[in-house]
A and B are shown apart, each in its own frame.
Chain A
Amino acid sequence: MRALVAAAVGVLVALVVGLVMVPLAHQGGPTSPKPLLTSAPAHP
């Protein structure tokens, strides 16, 4: 029974961490790669 309670607490904390991570990540700037430009333009 106590093991079940411990597991439930673990799951709950993980859910909270996962949910909170999205607004936190957006606050500090999203994780993203820099794109690269490789499209040569036109010129007559």
Chain B
Amino acid sequence: MHRRLSLVLVALAAFLATLGPMMRWYDYPRVVEVPASQYQAVVLQAKDATLIDYGTLTGVPHQTVTIVQTLKGDTAAAAAEKKRTGRDVVVWDGLSYVLGTDGKMISSIPEVYVFDAHSQEPVHCCGESVDGDPVTRTGIEYKFPFDTQPRDYQYYDPQTRTSAPIHYQGTRDYRGMTVYYFEQTIPWTQVVFPKTMPAGITGLTPATITALGYQRWYTTTREFWVDPVTGAPVNGEEQHHEELRFAKGSGRAPVTVFQGDVKIRSDYLDATFGQVRSQRQLVLALSTYIPWGAPLLGAVMLGLAFLFEVRGRKRPARNGGPDSVGDGDEDGGARQVPPPERAPAAPLLGQPFGPLGFDQVDQSEAR
């Protein structure tokens, strides 16, 4: 019986020792991916911000600007790309809808972001664009890759339509979770006007405002607190500053278009953190828990198998060596010679009895 059990344990040990590495190097890179059917909305707010009044062309302080950002996975486009190239891609149709203190629309900027579902490398297809303009991204946007490394990444800035390094600046404790902190500063750069301008102002279009010689300049400092397991930011902030600048020689000072600290609304922060915390356990199971735990458990199983094997071999000796009756399922058990009937008890007591020593005499036999 012991020997049969030891064989089962050997099989289990081999199973676990193989399963661990298999999970880490075969399953993990193939199974862990961003789903193509993602849908998500996040609300960000900039309180006590300064916002331009286009009627007077002055910056008005103490405004609350709300930004509703939605992401919707275009599954049809992703499936078409998969069919064409065999690659798992995610096509995100994003929209940033900006509202002023009065609830009126200030701007609405659509975006199409396409990337590899596993590695998050940008993919150039499926109408990749920002505000309707075709772009070719490099680097990451919105989310960091799975298994984020403590190093700088190239992060795509949709305002300037360029990528720039986002610098790793160490770990931080965020609600008890160790996260990576990244920061990116985009220096003052001239950028295009959004195609959708504030509602209710007659004649205000990107073309008319550009024709007047106005320029839009922008700078920002972007901060991310990122869960390195999933690559999902659990928090983000942006110190955003935009100016309307006038043609050289006009003598007019720049006007603040928007200045504010954009933060995720607290209820969305809570929801995001809860989501990331639960999802990271699934990813950790595939990347760490099973790859390390299974071989360790396998080693324990192997040890137990060895133990049972040794016991199985000793047992015949305990029962009288080669002349004893073993378990029916042990090697040679059925062929073993039965003991002599009613062997004399007294002479056996105190006799050395095989490898088990003096005290291992079968008392039932002794009686």
Contacts and interface: CB of A to CB of B under 8 A. Distances in A.
Interface residues of B, number: 84
B52 A34 contact: no
Interface in A1-44: 2-3, 6-11, 13-15, 17-19, 21-22, 25-26, 29-44
Interface in B1-53: 6-8, 10-19, 22-23, 26-27, 30-35, 38, 40, 42, 44, 46, 52
Interface of A: 2-3, 6-11, 13-15, 17-19, 21-22, 25-26, 29-44
Contacts, number: 192
B231 A33 contact: yes
Contacts of A34: 38, 40, 232, 272, 275-276, 279
Nearest to B305: A3
Q: Is the interface of B mostly helix, strand, loop or mixed?
A: mixed
B27 A42 contact: no
Interface of B: 6-8, 10-19, 22-23, 26-27, 30-35, 38, 40, 42, 44, 46, 52, 54, 65, 67, 69, 71, 94, 96, 98, 106-107, 109, 117, 141-143, 146, 158-159, 191, 193-194, 197-198, 209, 216, 218, 220, 222, 224, 227, 230-238, 240, 242, 244, 257-258, 262, 264, 272, 275-276, 279-280, 282-283, 286, 305
A9 to B, nearest CB: 5
A37 to B, nearest CB: 4
A33 B34 CA distance: 7
Nearest to B271: A34
Contacts of A10: 10-18
Given A31-B282, A31-B286, A32-B34, A40 B262 contact: yes
A31 B230 CA distance: 10
Contacts of B282: 31
Contacts of A42: 107, 109, 159, 191, 194, 216, 218, 242
B69 A33 contact: no
A26 to B, nearest CB: 8
B151 to A, nearest CB: 20
